[in-house]
Structure 1
Amino acid sequence: MSGLDNIGTKVVNPLPSPPEDGLSGNADAILHEIVALLEAYTATGQTGAIDLHSLPLTLDDYELLRITLADGEVHAHIDAIGNSEVRETLYPGVWWVTYYNAEGDIVADLIEVTAVPEILKAPADDVREGLAHLRELLKQEQP
């Protein structure tokens, strides 16, 4: 018997332990899909998204995703035609983006794999308009 046979091993589940009775298995599938999207993004720059609202997720599935994809360093609140919430997860490049209507109901719940979610990028027309306003302000200050 070699020395390696005497070494004890322990199998550790890499995912946090959520309630087990209400899991459908879809949260685990989503996490694997996120890995595939991250691999594609790091290899080619191709972004991707998963629409959680369109999938049959249980409350426990959502909880597993929230625990596993816990908050990262960036959190943004957007107030435009209803509120939107953007939060980076613990995994850079993986964002959880939730859109609400004016009544506060969730209308879209997405996991986006990208450097910066589109909702946070200023549209080119808005940037040009802001430039024009700033130029006008500076002209008014001149004697």
Structure 2
Amino acid sequence: MSKLDEIGIKIVSEPQETGQSGNAVAILYELAEMLDELIEKGESGAIDLQGIPLTPGDYELLREVLAEGEVHATIDAIGPTEVRETMFPGVWWITHYNVEGDIMADVIEVGFVPEILQSHPDDVSESSERLKAYLQEAAAINN
């Protein structure tokens, strides 16, 4: 018998009994740091969940810890986008779907308001011009 035969070997097939890789916990720590950055510097950020290897157990843990908060919005543009605040204000779970209902992007964003819900400056400018034109027409009709 060689010395190599004396070395004990333990084979592990699952990362843990829960089926979690540990990446969900790492994401939660990152979110805590991102909240601090938001508070201290006003800096927002996002984590693309599809860019991280997550097990079904990881997703389950994230859904449990980041439970539904008070705000939920649905946007309809090239397929629905679901925006929901988690139970931690400032932490938003945003899921983009295509028209067939497949998930195209799954992102957790940290910010006061999710970027997707903020009006684009060009749209606001156009809106201002349209409202002014309406008011001018209304004033001309009423005079």
Could you tell me the TM-score, scaled by structure 2's length?
A: 0.81
- Aligned identity (percent) is 57
Secondary structure of 2:20's aligned partner? coil
Q: Give the structure 1 partner of residue 122 of structure 2.
A: 125
Q: Give the structure 1 partner of residue 13 of structure 2.
A: none
Secondary structure of 1:23's aligned partner? coil
Q: Give the structure 2 partner of residue 82 of structure 1.
A: 79
Q: Could you give the per-residue CA deviations for residues 71-124 of structure 1, whole angstroms, max 9, x where no partner exists?
A: 111111011122111111111111111111222211111111111111000001
Secondary structure of 1:74's aligned partner? strand
Query: What CA RMSD, in Å, does the superposition of the two structures yield over aligned residues?
Result: 1.3
Query: After TM superposition, where is structure 1 displaced by more than 4 Å over at least 4 residues in a row?
Result: none
How far did residue 21 of structure 1 move? 2.7
Instruction: Point out where structure 1 has 5 or more consecutive residues left out of the alignment.
Output: 1-19
Please give the alpha-carbon distance, in whole angstroms, between the structure 2 residues aligned to 1:133 and 1:58.
49
Bigger mean CA deviation after superposition, 125-134 or 48-57: 125-134
Aligned residue pairs: how many? 124
Q: Give the structure 2 partner of residue 42 of structure 1.
A: 39
User: Which amino acid is 1:52 matched to?
Assistant: L
Matches within 5 A, 1:65-76: 65-76=62-73
Could you tell me the TM-score, scaled by structure 1's length?
A: 0.81
Instruction: Point out where structure 2 has 5 or more consecutive residues left out of the alignment.
Output: 1-16
* 2:108 equivalent to 1:111: yes
Please give the alpha-carbon distance, in whole angstroms, between the structure 1 residues aligned to 2:115 and 2:43.
14
Structure 2 residue aligned with 1:26, among 17, 23, 43? 23
Please give the alpha-carbon distance, in whole angstroms, between the structure 2 residues aligned to 1:136 and 1:41.
39
Secondary structure of 1:92's aligned partner? coil
Larger radius of gyration: 2
